[in-house]
Chains A and B, each alone.
Chain A
Amino acid sequence: MPKHDVLVIGAGLAGQRAALAAAQEGVAVGIVSKVHPVRSHSNAAQGGINAALQEGDSWESHAFDTVKGSDYLGDQDAIEIMCREAPDEILHLEHLGVTFHRNDEGRLGTRAFGGASQARTYYVADITGQAIMHVLYEQLMKYSGQISRYEEYFTTRLVLDGDGQCVGAVLRNVADGAMELFEAKNVILATGGNGQIWRPSTNALICTGDGIAMAYRAGAPLMDMEMIQYHPTTLAKKGFLITEGARGEGAHLLNAQGERFMERYAPNKMELASRDVVSRAEQTEINEGRGFDDGTVALDITVVPRKRIHEALREIVLVGRDFAGVDITREPIHIKPGNHYTMGGVKTDVHGATTVPGLYAAGEVACVSVHGGNRLGANSLLDTLIFGRRAGEHAAARAKQIDAARPSEAALRDSEREISELIGRSHDGGRRVSVLRRELGETMDRFVAVFRDEEGIQTALDRVKALQEELPRAYIDDRGTVFNQDVLGALELGFMLDQAEATCVAALHRTESRGAQYRTDFPERNDDEWLKHIDLTPSDDGTPEVSYSPVTG
């Protein structure tokens, strides 16, 4: 049985940063990921990472923008920490070898981003997430003596001891199907967001929110689950992301009549208003018939100088060319709002600690909450790194103070039983797992998206519950042990349904409009009643139980 002081689950930016920070403290670290670490979805963060590092900028200004952008649902103590620690983190990454863009003097240069009062976004062309994550993976390879990597290991559940402490996890080695119990004094969840609950989504197929569901099942409360960001510029039909950096570089949004419609919605910030505002503006244009026939508006990047596009927006040129057949340097590209980011997640403190002792969470899986009702562009990479590091450090410190507790084999047996039942299940009783997954995605994108109302959310919730009931009868094809993706897909769907239920319950419960939650039946923000977080814990019958926690001012 592998034993670690700190076991990190998930190996995107938050997970890798947590592992490196914990190893720095001298404890034994394991990092597991259901895909090879460099396949993690942090790759997809294109635009950059915010920090008040330039002369004339201040962390207070960064924090103020973040609070405002969050529609005042962000916790200000956490936001302060994130913004204060950002500059040092950028310099740390630069020293590790991230190839950040330089200005003419050879110093770090910035670009403008939405919702920010200053150009404070540091970047590597439009592959910032990829560039940082590959550099962190270089460090993982460098410190392979202290950090054991378990690549392509799927976590099926967390293991608690009799005192309710998290003491390990059950894993399935994807390569051969072997199930194993991992012992850990601390577990850090860094499994990312859950965009796959919506279809389409900018999120990768792996973004099924496994950690959110596992923590919830282990009794850790979820917070802000109704806050789901729709990104203003995603590719029509395929849902791929077009970076906000494009608008940061000066690109315009146009409706079918060629109007720069943001003049009517945000005359000052225009295209660089916060994402919830821009997405609603676009959706309004589309709903009121001023969009294109394919249900889109246009992003016009041709106004950005060619040379600048070549240096700063290479990836988008490729995305346009390869996935839309459009040369973005010559013609506008059709885009629309699309599911992008989970502001909510496992509720943590500023050290990444959940309410379950020994269980931490950092990055998109977690909700500290620094993003509140709406995340600013280029704050997510920062969130993963700052709170990944803090969780790693805190977990390492805790590991030094406690003795190892043996996880019980019962959890392993349960998971093994569950999977063998799934593999052996007959094809007569239900539908394919993949069919259920598609139905979930389409339902959520239809009813729990940019504009919501009670009837729609309730419809979605009813369908989610029906799918939950159906899941134990749904079948898979692959009965093998080697690289059985079918099994993983079924487990992921179980995770996703729990989260979808939580999101519907929270969205239904919050009878106001704030940030990404826009209720057409409650179009106003209601600070008197709703300047608070909705927390969800599983009740005895498994349904989410609502409680509240205050927004830290």
Chain B
Amino acid sequence: MPEYTLKVRRYQPETGEGPYWQEFKVELDPDLSVLDGLLKVRDEQDGSLVVRCSCRAAICGSCGTKINGQSTLACKTQLGDAQHGAGRRAQDGTAPIVVEPMGNMPVVKDLVTDMESTHWEKIRRVTPWLLPEGDPPEREYVVPPESMIDVTQSMACIQCGACVSACLSMEADPEFVGPAALAKAYRFVGDPRDGQTRERLYDLAQDPHGIYDCTHCFQCVDACPKGVAPMDQIMRLRRKAGHDQDIDDVNNGRRHETAFTKIIERKGTLDESLLLQESYAQGFVGKLMPTSGAIKGLLGSLPTAIRGLRTGKMRSLPKLIPGVHHKLPGDAQQHVKRAYEHAEEHREELNLYITGEEEIEPEADEAQEPLASAVGGGRQDMDKVTEGGSEAAGEAAPTPEADVEPEPDEEGDR
């Protein structure tokens, strides 16, 4: 049986001492878990080593920890894999398996964190119970079968806190409602039996630390031991708030998304200057009567832009002018527009949690060699685009506004 070294971040509050590292050696099969290792230490070496645990099978959600820096469940991480992970980074097979308490939460003792003041507080923030409209039916609510599977993805959450521990937005903004609570919110927003869909979405869109405070880093998706994919649920909330419910949020999230989407429809690729401008102050009205947030936001980005110019990072002044950005060649933009028409007409949302993935067809060859022959098409001289700026020349617009289409609902104001 192989021997593993567990390097555990310990904290014994009664001693008055700060946290410290302690290494324990355990002999166990590689397919047993890091939790099995910790329990063996607790049972045989040091009974004061504390870790919450119960089911040992990734169902109860007690043993959220960081193993080699990755937020996860100790019971779901096999010793062999953890050792591989530890050695990989250190490029040294003897590196210990590092076990720490979860992040973004106060530590109570050893691997036990205070989930109440962080995780549960945030869960309660999203009004986490069903609020149906009117009296229940005599029998069950009749709902589309897929809708129940859809929200079961969020119901699969075991409240272990691994996503909260891993969340990079919360690390920067402790007030962020966070991945677990927002996944829980989707559990109700996506439930056709709930009668407060709009109110819930409005609430979370008007909270500056709500659905638009997620930085899209995928940490929660990787941390979640149950496939809840909290970030996917947050994006669903955004789609439902912005598109289905037409809610404008305090964070400018929807405006940013709309501006982005429209720019690509018009130009095929992203005009970053235009995006910045449009995200804050949309269309004509936005520019004539900018909100204080828009002014603040635009002014706030100025130092970055100026610094960029000064340091040479931003080498082309025209790049800063919204609208200068080039369009796609030939009729390509027409075809992008066609893609928009088709997709906006259908808005089909393929949910892999419901449909699953089709069998992967056997590939011709696993070898990574790319295909040998070119059939031409799209060839462009490399040198032409090596230096920034030059390719935009033919597209320069007289004024920033020239390339900006007003919002439909602003037509009357013109």
Contacts and interface: CB of A to CB of B under 8 A. Distances in A.
Interface in A119-134: 124-125, 127, 130-131, 134
Contacts of B42: 434, 485
Nearest to B39: A205
B155 A127 contact: yes
A35 B57 contact: no
Interface in B124-145: 124, 128-130, 132, 136, 139-145
Contacts of A40: 60
B293 interface: no
Nearest to A207: B54
A115 B44 CA distance: 43
Contact of A482 (B109, B129, B143, B227): B109
B115 interface: yes
Given A99-B155, A434-B43, A482-B14, A322 B58 contact: yes
A141 B124 contact: yes
Given A43-B55, A43-B60, A438 B145 contact: no
Interface residues of B, number: 61
A139 interface: yes
Interface stretch (A105-113, A211-219, A282-290, A352-360): A105-113
B153 to A, nearest CB: 10
A333 to B, nearest CB: 14
Contacts of B188: 97
Contacts of A109: 145
Contacts of B55: 39, 41, 43-44, 204-205
A487 to B, nearest CB: 9
A210 to B, nearest CB: 14
A38 B159 contact: yes
A323 B44 CA distance: 24
Nearest to B139: A91
Interface stretch (A72-80, A406-414, A473-481): A473-481
Interface in A80-109: 91, 94-97, 99-109
Interface string B276-291: 0000000000000000
Interface in B29-74: 31, 42-44, 46-48, 50, 52-62
A108 B129 contact: no
B76 interface: yes
A109 B59 CA distance: 24
A27 interface: no
B152 A125 contact: yes
A76 B56 CA distance: 36
B158 interface: yes
B124 to A, nearest CB: 6
A301 to B, nearest CB: 15
Contacts of B143: 102, 106
Given A106-B142, A139-B129, A482-B14, A100 B61 contact: no
A36 interface: yes
Given A43-B158, A205-B54, A38 B14 contact: no
Interface string B101-127: 000000011101001100000011000
21 contacts: A39-B62, A43-B55, A43-B59, A44-B55, A94-B140, A97-B193, A100-B140, A105-B142, A106-B145, A107-B140, A125-B152, A130-B158, A138-B130, A204-B56, A306-B359, A314-B227, A315-B59, A434-B47, A478-B50, A483-B108, A485-B47
Closest 8 CB pairs of A and B: A477-B47, A97-B130, A478-B48, A434-B43, A102-B145, A310-B356, A95-B136, A138-B129
Interface of A: 35-36, 38-41, 43-44, 91, 94-97, 99-109, 124-125, 127, 130-131, 134-135, 138-139, 141-142, 151, 175, 204-206, 238, 240-241, 306-307, 310-311, 314-315, 318-319, 322-323, 325, 432-435, 438, 476-486, 489
